[in-house]
Structure 1
Amino acid sequence: MSSSLVSMAIDDSEDVLVDGLARSAFQIMGVLTRLGAEHDLSLTQLRVLGILRDRRPRMSDLAAFLGLDKSTLSGLVDRAVRRGLMTRAPNPTDKRAVDVLITDAGRELAEQMFEEFRAALAPATGRLDEAQRRQLAELLEPVLTPPLPLV
C-alpha cells in the first residue's frame, strides 16, 4: 500500500472515530439535558453532582475543572445549597479554602438520576453483550483520561 493510501486510511479511521464520538456525545447530552430539565438542573449542575458523588473538591479546584470562573461556580453552588443538594465546609488542611460537599439529598438525587440515565441509555447499551460493554469501557478509558482541556 502506498504511503498516501496508508495516510488516507488512517485519516478515514480517525474521521470515523471522531464522528462516532461526536454522535455518541450528542446522543448522551440529549439524554442528560432532558433528565436535567425534568429535575430542574442544568448540565453543569448535573456534572457537579456527579463529581461530588465520590470527591470533596475545593471550590477553586472545582471551578478550574469545570472551566468556570469562581463567581459563576459560587452562584451555581448557592442555588444547589438552597435546594439542599450541596453544602460548603472549611477545607481541613487549608483554612483559607472552602470545599463543596454533596448532601444526603444531593446523593439521593444523583443516584436516582444515574438510574434514570442508565435506563434511558439501555436501548443502546442493550445492543451490546457483556463482553462488548466491558471492551467499549476499556477502549474509552484512555480516550477520557485525563479529561480534555476545555476550549
Structure 2
Amino acid sequence: MPTDTAPADPPAQAPDLGIVDSLAQLSFLVQGALAKVAAELGLSVIQLRLLGVLRDREPGMQELARHLELDKSSVTGLVDRAERRGLVRRAPSPRDRRAVQVTLTDEGRAAARALEEDAGRRIRALAAHLGDEQRAALSRLASTLVAGATAV
C-alpha cells in the first residue's frame, strides 16, 4: 500500500480535463481532505481556516474578515464559538483601543499544529503518485496561481 512519502505506481496517462474542470476537481479533493481533518477534531472547515490564519498573525476583526472573506458579523460569531472552545482569545489592540486582536491560545496553537500536520499528510498523499519533478512543477504552478490570484 503506498504511503504519502513513497510514490505509487504511476497511473496511465490521465485525459486532460481542461483548466476549469481539473482545477475545480482538484479543489474538491483538497477541500474534502481538509473537511476530514477538521471533522476529526470536531471543527468546521471555516474553523480550520480561522486557526490557519491565526498561526502566524494576530489580526483585528476586520482584517480577519478580509482573510476569511466573511462579513464582520459572521467573523464575530466564528470567533465567539472558537473562544468558547478555548482555541482563541480576544485582546485589546495595542494600536487602537477601540479594536481587538484575535490570538490563538496554547490549546489553539496545539490544534493548529495538529491540523497542519494532518492536512499536510493528506494533501501530500493526493500527489504521492507523481514523480518528484511533477510535484515540484505542481507546487510552482500552484504558487504562481495563488500569487497572481485576484478576488473572483
Q: Pick the TM interval, shorter chain.
A: 0.7 to 0.9
Match of 2:89 in 1: 87
Structure 1 unaligned segments of length 5 or more: list them.
Answer: 1-12
1:1-151 matches, within 5 Å, as 16-145=18-147, 147-149=149-151
TM-superposed CA distance for 1:85, in Å, is 0.7
Higher Rg of the two aligned structures? 1
In 1: Cα distance, 2:106 partner to 2:150 partner:
30
Structure number with higher relative contact order (C-alpha < 8 Å, ≥ 6 residues apart):
2
Distance 1:131 1:53 in 2: 30
Give the TM-score normalised by structure 1.
0.80
Alignment identity in percent?
43
Deviation at 1:128, TM superposition (A): 2.7
RMSD of aligned residue pairs (Cα, Å):
1.9
Q: CA deviation at 1:148?
A: 3.9
Q: Distance in 1 between matches of 2:99 and 2:125?
A: 44
Deviation at 1:142, TM superposition (A): 2.3
Question: What CA distance in whole angstroms lies between the structure 1 residues aligned with 2:67 and 2:123?
Answer: 26
Contact 2:90 2:101 (8 Å CA) reproduced: yes
In 2, the alpha carbon distance for the partners of 1:67 and 1:36 equals 19
Counting helix residues as a fraction of each chain, which structure ranks higher? 1
What is the identity, as a one-letter code, of the residue corresponding to 1:28?
A: V
Unaligned runs of 5+ in 2: 1-15
Deviations 1:75-103 (A, max 9, x none): 11111111111111111112221111111
CA distance in 2: counterparts of 1:85 and 1:64, whole angstroms: 20
TM-score normalised to structure 2 length: 0.80
Equivalences, count: 137
